[in-house]
Structure 1
Amino acid sequence: MAGFWLRGSVYFASVKPAALAERNGFNIRRLASRRVNVNAATITRQSKSNLALAFISLGRERKRDITVFYAFCRVIDDIADSSELSVVEKRVRLAKWRQMLHATAGDDPLLARDVRHLIAKYSLPVAMLEEIIAGVEMDLSTLRYPTFEELRIYCYRVASAVGLVSIEIFGYRNPRCKQYAIELGLALQMTNIIRDVGKDVQNGRIYLPQEDLARFHYSETELTQRHYNEHFVQLMEFQARRARQFFDNAAAVLWAPCTAVCFDELSWTSFAFLKKNIG
């Protein structure tokens, strides 16, 4: 599943949930499927993420608050990606999280109470948090995207929406940061889709728009059978140009040299790095 996590001081958007995190018997995915009063710092620490470094430039208070938000994202993403829950159970638990964003109950998990505190403290739009939940829900039923416009909705929900919430916690001043978060989220999500195309196929998902496969005469069968050929390279170059455009859009709003450098590392070899997964 393409997920979403803050990265650096921009925001965390790494897609693809981390592997099952086990340390000292602590299992993040079991947290996702059970109502456990576990705090955000524990969830973040045990997720084996590099977020501790990403948030190092933040003050203590904002670091604590962004950790709560990360833990929220981590938990709902792991609910959707859990192998221990049925689709119905996943929908029920995600619906419960929607409910907990609005209402207070005596038996709510500690994390839910912390998230509601963030909503009040930063005047966070609950609708934006609900967009993130809607994004992970899409992975419960959507295995193909006929058009890019449909994929764009997914990318916005699982990446751009995360950025829009994050900048509120970071304490942005420039109103252009909102558009920057949207464009950068789309850019990072498309980059991760490019990176993980082989792994996604293994999981039965194809995020590459069906209209693009048709445009470059590369069939779904070729993709599932891992044929690395000229049509595949052309298809991926097209996706790269699309991602590059989003990076350029973001850079036009706020200068972002690092993102372009990171993206160049993915595309400079005509996506040969994907050959071991496709070919």
Structure 2
Amino acid sequence: MEHVTTSVSGAAKFSETSVSSTWGAVPLAGRPTPDEAFKYCAAISAGHAENFPVASLFLPEEKRPYLQAIYAFSRIADDFADELDVSPGERLARLNDWETMLVDSYNGRADHPVFVALAETFYRCHVPLEPFSDLLSAFKRDVVQNRYESFEDLLSYCRCSANPVGRLVLMVFGHRDEEIFKCSDAICTALQLTNFWQDLFVDLKKNRLYLPLEDLRRFGYTEDLWRRGVADERFRALLRFEIDRTKALLYDGAGLPSRVERELAVELKMVWFGGMAILRKLERRGVAPSSRPSLAGIDKVGILFRSLYYNDLSRYGRKKKQWDLT
């Protein structure tokens, strides 16, 4: 489209090797059309296994390409931050270049397919630049920070790493209400925390520990025990504590689906139930170096059923008190 112009500064900074080796897609030759760019982003979305759906078939077809563009931008940036065989300085340089290309695309100049798709997303959906910049700040933080002293420190990370994604999804659907954003923030933070607890031992190879250090001290667990893969009673008590806090955040956002259109509501409920299912698996089985809870096919069928059946998420999974007759 004519409002997307060529950016000389953009794609030249990313060779085919630097991008494709990160996530496996093959860059297009030359500047792609918007349709080609959206197909490129859709391939990235389809090629990564996630706990939670990315632009599923329950969403209106005309909205999916924009969500896939947002996901592709985030996926590649996250992979840049996680390239352990690349120096921290080089990883930050790649993220800085990615940010330059982001700003160019916001101004309608793009060559890389992800940013051609994002330029269309900015133009068609009127989404702001800030949530994307917040995401990049979180990815940069991953490069330079691998410990969090307090739960509040961890929440500050989630405010940039997770919450912008939910807000962008809502903006694509035309929502701008701050109260709706607050519900979304609670769910997105809970999902990010769920992923942290799920990957506690997977993150050993990155030397990233997302359990707040103050909580380790509270439960008598240590970094040395974590590095040795010890999942003893102290660890289990600590994990239960974090799971309870994470569930509380999910319930804080439980009213979100009822405040949006049905197509988006089903998707949001699938995400919500997916997070809750992982937390319940963590409660029952815990996590260990040889055991990472994940969603099986039967779990996903149950999530779909509950997403279509349940309307009041705030009551799901909560035991009724004896005097509660509702």
TM-score category, normalised to shorter length: 0.7 to 0.9
Query: Aligned to 1:189, what secondary structure does the other structure show?
Result: helix
Task: Determine whether 1:42 maps to 2:43.
Answer: no
Does the CA contact (< 8 Å) of 1:28 and 1:46 recur in 2?
no
Instruction: Please show how residues 203-222 of structure 1 align to structure 2 within 5 Å.
Output: 203-222=206-225
Q: After the TM superposition, which residues 115-154 of structure 1 pair with which residues of structure 2 at under 5 Å, given as runs? A: 115-154=118-157
- 1:161-200 map, 5 Å: 161-172=164-175, 176-200=179-203
RMSD: 3.1
Q: Can you give the 5+ residue segments of structure 2 that lack an aligned partner in the other structure?
A: 1-19, 259-268, 293-326
Superposed CA deviations along residues 182-209 of structure 1, whole A, max 9, x for unmatched, are 0001110111111000111232110111
Tell me if structure 2 keeps the 8 A contact 1:193–1:207.
Answer: yes
- What is aligned with 2:72? 71
Cα distance change on mapping 1:267 and 1:41 into 2, 3 Å:
same
* TM-score of the superposed pair, with normalisation by structure 2: 0.68
AA in 2 matched with 1:87: P
Structure 1 outlier segments of 4+, above 6 Å: 30-36
| Residue 265 (str. 1) matches residue 263 (str. 2) | no
Shift, 1:267, TM fit: 3.2
- Aligned partners of 2:162 and 2:188 also within 8 Å: yes
Unaligned runs of 5+ in 1: 1-25
Residue 63 of structure 2 corresponds to 62
Cα offset, 1:157, TM superposition: 1.4
Q: Say yes or no: does 1:29 pair with 2:23.
A: yes
Identity of aligned residues (%): 23
Larger Cα-atom Rg: 2
Q: Which moved more, 1:254-263 or 1:133-142?
A: 254-263
Contact 2:108 2:119 in 1 (8 A): no
Q: Is the Cα contact below 8 Å between 2:95 and 2:136 reproduced in 1?
A: yes
Shift of 1:239: 0.6
Equivalents in 1 of 2:102, 2:201: separation in Å?
Answer: 35
1:251 correspondence with 2:249: no
Cα deviation, residue 174, structure 1: 6.3
**Distance of 1:260 and 1:139 partners within structure 2:** 22
Q: TM-score, normalised by structure 1?
A: 0.78
User: Are the equivalent residues in 2 in contact too, given 1:44–1:67 (CA < 8 A)?
Assistant: yes
* C-alpha separation in 1, matches of 2:225 and 2:22: 35
**What is the rounded CA distance, in whole Å, between the counterparts of 2:75 and 2:145 in structure 1?**
20
How has the CA–CA distance of structure 1 residues 129 and 32 changed in structure 2, closer, same or farther, with 3 Å as cutoff? farther
Residue 156 of structure 1 aligns to a residue whose secondary structure is: helix
Contact 2:186 2:250 in 1 (8 A): yes
Q: 2 CA distance for matches of 1:211 and 1:183?
A: 22
Count residues in correspondence.
252
Q: Relative to structure 1, is the Cα distance of residues 275 and 72 closer, same or farther in structure 2, using a 3 angstrom cutoff? A: closer
